[in-house]
Amino acid sequence: MVPELLVIIDEKLGRNMAEYMGLRVTGTLGVLAKARVQGLIPSFLKATHGMREQGIFFHEGLVNRIATRVGEGN
């Protein structure tokens, strides 16, 4: 049995193509959320803010929705 594979990609066109090909897809925020839930990082929001300070863009609404889901929402 082949383990289920997961593709990590943020770019929309690439995500759409991977999903079209039947692959499971997550992005950077999904990885950070999972790390937070598993206790591997202390804060999802601090991690996203640190990445933003390095010039990486995340949609604010998406960050807030995921933060709420991992227990860091308003």
Q: For the chain, which residues make up each domain, given as ranges?
A: 6-69
Tell me the C-alpha distance between 46 and 16, whole Å. Answer: 28
pLDDT, position 1: 43
6-8 and 24-26 strand pairing:
parallel
Mean per-residue pLDDT, 33-38? 96
Residue 21, pLDDT > 50, answer: yes
Q: Give the pLDDT band of residue 74 (cuts 50, 70, 90).
A: low
Residue 2, pLDDT > 50, answer: no
The set of residues, in sequence order, having a beta carbon less than 8 Å from that of 25 and lying 6+ positions away, is: 6, 7, 8, 9, 15, 18, 19
Under 8 Å between Cβ of 48 and 70: no
